[in-house]
Structure 1
Amino acid sequence: MSLRTDITSARKVFRNIIRSRRTRREIVRREREFPRPEAGTIRIAVYFADTRVNLYQIRQWYAPLRELAKVHPVAIITRSPGSALTINEESGLPVMYLRSVVELEEFVAEQDIRIVLYVNQNTKNFQMFRYGRMWHTFINHGESDKMYMTTNQFKAYDYALVAGQAAIDRLSRKLWDFDVERKALPIGRPQADHFAGEGELPYTPDERTVVLYAPTWEGDRPAAAYGSIASHGVALAEAVLASPRHRLVYRPHPRSGVIDEVYRAANERIIQAIAAANAQDASARHVFDDGPALGWQLAHADVAITDISAMVYDRLATGRPIIVARPVSPDAEIDEEGFLGSAEWLRAPEAGRVLELVEKVQGDPAARENLEHWARHHFGDTSPGATTARFHAAIEQLMGEWARHAELHAGEPRSSESDPLDDEDDEGMPGGGD
């Protein structure tokens, strides 16, 4: 078994190397599509070192970043050729593919970067952290009550832009000696200002109640096993698909089934069930959604069913009904100090009767009041444009702090920040080199 595993891993490494080299050649061929920003023009960089499998983490920031770029030029720095190609096609922002640390150093030297934004905790973030005369700022890829939201890695950043009071309370409870008041800046959820316009509806609205089911992946350890596809998903989907009064929009996490074969099989079964239901009744227009745009699903669904993930809070920001699938893993950490303490839970044995709960949350005034309360607690003012204004204000605050420190240290020599030993290329690593 060990030899077979080694052979499989070796083949995967080889495929990654070939794919990475092919993609790099494609970037060279399309060089004109990657114009280099004029020297000294970029003051804000978004650093994304991940491969295409995690593009969902930066995609949700495209619209807010395009809005920010109207005030301060923004460039996205990528380290994966595949990510560079896709982000360049999708984002509407300048994209730099900087494979090596030497290339990264050259770009930093020619620009006037004052703020670097990070959407995840990729280990290659540390190759960017070496630069001391800029603010390294974690903006995350969603608000949630997952354990990820209180990782000690928050301390690696100069600042973190967080959603609101719930995030500040969460960090205060969980992290020792973390200066939350100074380092955590609440901005709400800027993405929510763009949800309604993100993507065209794949169906024509009618009398059917639209139920969004947006589960997360299975997780890589018991404490992070929040995914419901294998435990709730099939029964839930079958119940909605069987109803002539409902439409299912199924948007699974892009990593669903990457580890667990049972989870992957359940995901495929739901996708097949949607196709079969549409073949039987073309007017139903049930949707399997794996597209890059996230927004219309949250803004237009009558009821959303999610797992414990950022999708709970993206939906909460809209103020519309939410049901949360209760994890079956006894080890999955559930922080019930916030919204989850009063959420409408869907337990696995009840998944086949999900439409009863759908009707309940739609017609319950107390549930609506509860959502409004927690939306304010997690995001503050959610009126149109308010969270974008707070995002821009936080950026201006950091720009002001940068200018203050630059004046304090004017005339000091710039220390060498290069370390050639860190100039790695992970194209051969499993899961890398796309």
Structure 2
Amino acid sequence: MTDTAAQGQPRIEVSTCVLLHDLGVRRDGDEWIVGRMATRTFVALPAAGARAVELLGEGLSVARTAEALRDETGEELDIADFVRDLAALGFVARIGDSAVPDAEAPRASLPWLRPHQVRYALHPALPVLVGALLLTAVAVLIRRPDLLPGYRDLLWSRHGSLVLLTGAAIGWALLFAHELAHLVTARAAGVPGRIRLGTRLQFLVMQTDISGIELAPRRHRLTAYLAGIALDLSVASVLMLVLAATDTGTTAHRVLAAALLLALMPLPFQCMVFTRTDLYFVLQDLTGCRNLYGDGLAHARYAFRRALRGKAYATDPSTRLPPHERRAVRAYSVVLVVGTVACLAFLAAVTLPADITLLARAARGLGPGHGLAGNADAAAVLVTLGGINVLWLVTWWRNRRRA
């Protein structure tokens, strides 16, 4: 008896044995997370699926695996079809005597960084140190409320070009440090990780893919998700302490105040969970949802189309989810719609008009009649502001094509 071979795969017979790649497994409630770290591919399987993976990994044939599962569960399972699914995920190295073509593994950022070199990032004492540093900074701020920075602190120089260039340099440095914190923490948990540019609605962001952290214990997962915010707070706390020791009115004091504000500015953005920020992944983990954003978006689309077409339209995709996920997804879909509409409205009403005005003024500020300083300021605005917008477009298009 044989099973028809899938396209591009060796034929699977009842006597066929398979060789699996090195897979990680973690129990998660009633399901099991199974994945391959090398390719960053992970799936949630029921207990029978995880058991089938275990039996196949022990060298049992398709028939013997099906027989063992029938004895344990009382159900007839199509193990040949299951093997094809595993092969499509890249989990199977060989089917019988035939090798299964393997996809190229994604590149990791800073591959020379080894888990044992950054193991301290997962030490339980580290959050305590971050908390102590933050409390010290808050205590200083309570005693010196005048140190709390405002938007005017960003305008620390009368030269707009200098403000833009230093702001961009400090902002991107802090952003890279934020993502590096994610990478280091994930690497400590044995996850490769990769830093790259991305877009979140109208925002150009730097993001770290830490796929594989799903296999780590919850404390390690939450530490990896919150590492960037912890670093931002730590940097802001240190800047507050240094600012308190610096004479008011000096250039150093003004620059430190600007840097402090730049370190604090990303924190409100993290609350925008509808753009899949760090706190989104914390929320997804704590609610036990597999794909909070994707399921929330699907439910929002269903609700919108149902409102347009009436009650007879399709079936709510959230009904297939377990009750606890269904409640979280439906609540998140409201946040997703309201937040997205608010962000796009702000883009249309404020951000785009401001950017166009600044770019137009900069373009008019170029020319022989504006002097060296005027031309330098105009060029800095065009390069900095225009460059960010062009980079957003390029990143959005590249990621769209990749998706």
Output the TM-score relative to the length of structure 1. 0.22
Higher RCO (C-alpha under 8 Å, 6+ residues apart) = 1
More helix by share: 2
Output the TM-score relative to the length of structure 2. 0.23
Larger Rg: 2
